[in-house]
Each structure stands twice: as C-alpha cells, then as structure tokens.
Amino acid sequence: EPPWCPYKVWAEGEGPSAARFCFRSPARGFQCSARWCRAHRAPGGGSLVANVLRNGSVLLQWGRPRPAARLAGFALNCSWDGTYTRFPCDTVELGASCRDYLLAEPHGGVRYRLCLQPRFAAPREAEEEEEEEEAEAFSSPPAQCVEFRPQPAAMRDIVVAMTAVGGSICVMLVFICLLVAYITENLMSPAKGPPGRR
C-alpha cells in the first residue's frame, strides 16, 4: 500500500476549488486501548470505527469496500449537534489508499455524526457495453455512519488543573516540613549559657 494518504479539505460554504490538498501518514496497526481510547463502531456490521482518544482527538478507521473495482476514493461528511441546530464540519475527500483519518480538534461534549461514502470511477467507453448489464445489478455500497461524543474539554482542563494543584501542594508541604524542622532544631532548643569564668 502507498505510504501516504492524500486528501482534500474545504470548509463549509467553500467549493472544491478552495480545497487544501494534504498528505498524512497512515496509522497502521493502531488498536484502541481501553485505558486511553473508546471505540464506536458503525451499526450493521460496517467497518467504520471512530476511536475517541483520551486527549479529545478522534481517529477514524475503515476497511476496503467491496466491490473494490474502480474505487476512486472516499467522501467524509461530518456534522455535530449544537444547542438548537446541527452544524456541518469541513468536507473531506480521501484517496483510494486511505484507511484512516484524524479528526484533530472536535468540540468536546457534543454529539458527532460522521458518514463515509466510497466513490467509484466511471467505466471507460470500451467497457461501457460490457458493464451495462452489470450496472443494473451493481450498486455502490451505502455510506457507513458512526456517532460519538468526545470527552468535554472542560473535564480535561479540570484533570490537568487538579494534577498541577496537587503537585504544588506536595511541594509546599515539603517546604513546610523543612521549615518546622529548622525551627525545632535551632530556635526551640535550650540556649547554651556563656562559658564560666575562672
């Protein structure tokens, strides 16, 4: 498989002409550990999995669709629930070699819905006649969708803040103990009188 995954991203309201063309290194062999990650699989036995990591990012993984002939790539549609309406995310088109995608900074605490749709290239003219009969029987696989809710950013900030405060308290306790020991050793001990005169 190619060592890079090519993809295009453009924001809502922009057209494909304004897309940013990027490459990413596939995360081959990644497995979701229960300690650092929670996996959400698409219903109906689909291969699409959303791995919600503890740091708030989401790694999407999927398998090769069947049939794989003329596979041209994938379209990733994303949306998330607001207070009163549903907002679309950036539109992403991925190459045929891509098997994962990282959603780096999702909003914490809101429900996301991501759908992955395989895209197939049109048959060549020489193949059109042979494939006309197969076209009726052939239908592109439906989009696989998965829903998840990332960990709220506020909770992550609270955990980080509590860890920092706990470390500061430990350092302060050490200094207090040293100060008490110094006072006990030097100030609270009985004073020695002056040496006697002969």
Three-state secondary structure call for residue 176: helix
Tell me the average pLDDT of the chain. 79
For residues 24 and 46, give the distance between their C-alpha atoms in angstroms, rounded to a whole number.
24
Number of H helices, E strands in the chain: 2, 11
CB 103 within 8 A of CB 110: no
88 vs 124, more confident:
88
72 vs 179, more confident:
72
Q: Are strands 37-41 and 49-53 parallel, antiparallel or unpaired?
A: antiparallel
Q: Which neighbouring-strand residues pair with 69?
A: none
Whether pLDDT at 159 is above 90? no
Report pLDDT digits (tens) over 92-111: 999 999 999 999 888 888 99
- Record the tokens describing residue 93, joined without a space: 């088109």
11 vs 8, more confident:
8
61 vs 2, more confident:
61
For residues 139 and 116, give the distance between their C-alpha atoms in angstroms, rounded to a whole number.
16
For residues 182 and 152, give the distance between their C-alpha atoms in angstroms, rounded to a whole number.
46
% of the chain residues with pLDDT over 70: 75
Please give the full DSSP string across 177-192, using - where no structure is assigned. HHHHHHHHHHTSSPPP
Whether pLDDT at 139 is above 60? no
Whether pLDDT at 177 is above 60? yes
For residues 179 and 177, give the distance between their C-alpha atoms in angstroms, rounded to a whole number.
5
Q: What is the average per-residue pLDDT within 173-190?
A: 72
Q: What is the pLDDT of residue 66?
A: 77
For residues 130 and 134, give the distance between their C-alpha atoms in angstroms, rounded to a whole number.
8
Nearest to 103, CA basis, from 33, 17, 34, 40: 40
In which band, very low, low, confident or very high, does the pLDDT at 29 lie, cut at 50, 70 and 90? confident
In which band, very low, low, confident or very high, does the pLDDT at 191 lie, cut at 50, 70 and 90? low
Whether pLDDT at 181 is above 50? yes
Q: What is the pLDDT of residue 125?
A: 58
pTM attached to this predicted model: 0.67
Report pLDDT digits (tens) over 44-66: 878 999 999 988 899 999 998 87
Three-state secondary structure call for residue 161: helix
